[in-house]
Amino acid sequence: MTLAAAIERSKRNREDWKYTDLPALLARRAQNAPMPITALPATANDDARLVFVNGIFHPAQSRFGSIPSCILMGDERSGYKLTLGEHTCLVAQPVELVFTTDESATDEIDINLSIDIGANGRLTLLERHLPSRAFSTIDINVTLHESAKFVHGKMTSGGAHIARTNVNVARGGYYSHFGLTRGGLPMRHDIDVHLMDEQAQAALHGVMLLRGGDHADITTRIAHNAPHGVSRQMFKTVLGDKSRGVFQGKIYVAPHAQKTDGHQISRALLLSDSAEMDAKPELEIYADDVKCSHGSTIGDLDADALFYLRARGLSETQARALLIDAFTGEVIDDIPVPAWRDLFRADMEGWQS
Amino acid sequence: MLEIRNLHAAIGGKEILKGIDLTVPSGQVHAIMGPNGSGKSTLSYVLSGREGYEVTQGTVTLNGQDLLALNTEQRAAAGVFLAMQYPVEIPGVTNMNFLKTALNAVRKSRGQSELDAMQMLKLLRGKASAIGLSDDMLKRAVNVGFSGGEKKRNEILQMAVLEPALCLLDETDSGLDIDALKIVSDGVNALRAPDRSMVVITHYQRLLDYIKPDAVHVLAFGKIRKSGGPELAHELEARGYADFAGEAA
Ligand SMILES: Nc1ncnc2c1ncn2[C@@H]1O[C@H](COP(=O)(O)OP(=O)(O)OP(=O)(O)O)[C@@H](O)[C@H]1O
Ligand SMILES: [Mg+2]
């Protein structure tokens, strides 16, 4: 995907992009100050970390730890391919993909990556985008073979970021996503999950933290194409200043996908009167024996709770931070990788201060 | 010592407190009784600095310090504690984390060192078991799913932890069963101290059998209408507030 293609797609598909006017947002971005180039953050020494600089895999900065280096193939032109063989398990060693830029970065960086996990394989991978002045697109195509399991973390730190994650899940496979969106102008992430066979499962979780003139849009589509599929979605958005958040979530259930169990929830916390949240849940169900639901709430910080905390000595800043933590905690506490939990929390602390 | 002089306060332009005068010396417990809607909770909120309560006249000092000049958290640091009539539920924040953050915030602003995790755990467990709250209650979200009585005990636990100079108890006895009333009263009595003033708002004389007040005041129609000793509570129990109905104007 390129920026031009993304704009084209947004124009062709107005309903899908109705809250995110890509050309207008990009025009606004041009007036913004450029982003700093960040150094690689520290990490535990033995973690496998694959570093991409300006969209190109950089072996010298990378570390494979105990995972075989042949796990990653391809190049920036043909796209990268990460392959995990059958019964290969990389749960104990989470893989981190770090995307960063340097002085020689072009204005636009487009990345294509496919991830293929063989039957009964297990992968835990964090996709981490460091702040950059470049416009970045990332297209990830995930294939989970029978009973494969993938825990996919994604962190973005503002800037212009257009992402598409397309996931195919075979029988008994499980795709689990945890996203932390810190800002963005614009940020758009499409997550399309296709549950292709029986007992396939997906769980999408996300926290968006927006302020200033941020605009972030997460659009999910979960297609239940086979019986006995399970999907869970929980998205939490915190909006300050004049930021705008969008969550569009669609659950599709094919006619023969009986006994589907799909739930989706979006909750937003508005910290300012000028912030705006648009939530559009959608159920498209063609089977009759299913359990599906969606819910969406948009609210302010609870004034009674704020007073209660302050009456016990917490400063207003502390009280607000505690309530925001409590709000996002429902997602963060569920992250199965302790190191990611710490990372997400640290990132959120940085956002609040 | 708490000193309230000619305190007038309004909510949304409507005057609720119409000139309260009240002095509670350090080491004393004063009870405030009065009909529903007379302004008792309003007084306790005004003293703790809740937003939306506009003080239009008067002064309030605690041990000489002007309370009205302080915001809510500064008053907490200065030693004001309100055990609320309706304690607030805070989903997602554990009681333990709440108490920890509160105590360290207050200690910090009082110029004391913050407690580390171990010291904190020890202190909180000790105080919780003294008030009959299990460790389990410390791990749960603040007041969420607590029974009425458990919420009130939780208020007293916070009070015991924060060691305030002024304790305001707004109907801490309502909703308590007889055993809980005894436990909560013991908790309050344990906190009676020469350098602490307490104001106990209640509708029932029974509480004052457990927490013996030095003085009893009747708050009706936004003003203290009568003050006396503990016997005043018995009188009110027998006669009700009919005597004060004529004083509305
Ligand atoms: N937020 C508010 N907006 C408008 N009026 C209010 C508000 N809060 C309280 N009041 C009014 O102020 C008056 C005093 O209320 P307050 O809660 O102080 O009474 P109280 O003495 O504590 O009564 P109770 O014994 O029932 O607890 C009442 O008439 C009440 O309706
Ligand atoms: Mg009241």
How does pLDDT run across A318-348, given as a tens digit for each residue? 999 999 999 999 999 999 999 999 999 988 8
**What integer pLDDT is reported at residue A92 of this predicted model?**
78
Q: Do A314 and B73 touch (CB under 8 A)?
A: yes
Q: At what angle are helices B148-162 and B117-130 packed, to 10 degrees?
A: 130
**For the CA of B170, the nearest ligand:** 2
A127 belongs to a structural domain = yes
Nearest partner of A46 among A339, A347, A349, judged by Cα: A339
Structural domain range at position A215: 3-304
**For the CA of B32, the nearest ligand:** 1
β-pairing verdict for B223-228 and B53-62: unpaired
**What integer pLDDT is reported at residue A90 of this predicted model?**
80
d(CA B21, CA B58): 9
Mean pLDDT of all residues in chain A? 93
A344 belongs to a structural domain = no
d(CA A255, CA A111): 36
ipTM score over 0.85, yes or no: yes
Total domains, chain A = 1
Ligand 1 centre and the CA of B178: distance in Å?
27
Total domains, chain B = 1
β-pairing verdict for A135-144 and A161-169: parallel
**What integer pLDDT is reported at residue A39 of this predicted model?**
75
β-pairing verdict for A72-75 and B14-24: unpaired
d(CA B154, CA A353): 31
A315 belongs to a structural domain = no
CATH number of the domain where residue B181 is located: 3.40.50.300
- C-alpha distance from B52 to closest chain A C-alpha (Å): 11
A314 belongs to a structural domain = no
**What integer pLDDT is reported at residue A97 of this predicted model?**
95
Tell me which residue in B50, B80, B105 faces A307 most closely, judged by beta carbons: B50
Range B92-96 average pLDDT: 95
Ligand 2 centre and the CA of A105: distance in Å?
64
| A:292-331 residues touching chain B, CB 8 A cutoff | 302-305, 307-316, 318-319, 322-323, 325-327, 329-330
Structural domain range at position B138: 2-247
Kindly list the protein residues that place their beta carbon closer than 5 angstroms to ligand 2, a single-atom ion: B 40-41, 85
**What integer pLDDT is reported at residue B89 of this predicted model?**
96
Residue A35 has pLDDT above 60, yes or no: no
d(CA B77, CA A310): 10
A257 belongs to a structural domain = yes
Q: Do B71 and A318 touch (CB under 8 A)?
A: no
A142 belongs to a structural domain = yes
d(CA B184, CA A63): 60
In ligand 1, the atom with minimum distance to the C-alpha of B43 is: 18
**What integer pLDDT is reported at residue A140 of this predicted model?**
98
How does pLDDT run across A231-273, given as a tens digit for each residue? 999 999 999 999 999 999 999 999 999 999 999 999 999 999 9
A18 belongs to a structural domain = yes
Range A171-181 average pLDDT: 98
Ligand 1 centre and the CA of B35: distance in Å?
11
3-class secondary structure per residue, B145-206: CCCHHHHHHHHHHHHHHHCCCEEEEECCCCCCCHHHHHHHHHHHHHCCCCCCEEEEECCCHH
Which range of A70-84, B169-183, B230-244 scores highest in mean pLDDT? It is: A70-84
d(CA B30, CA A320): 34
If pLDDT is split at 50, 70 and 90, which confidence band does B70 have? very high
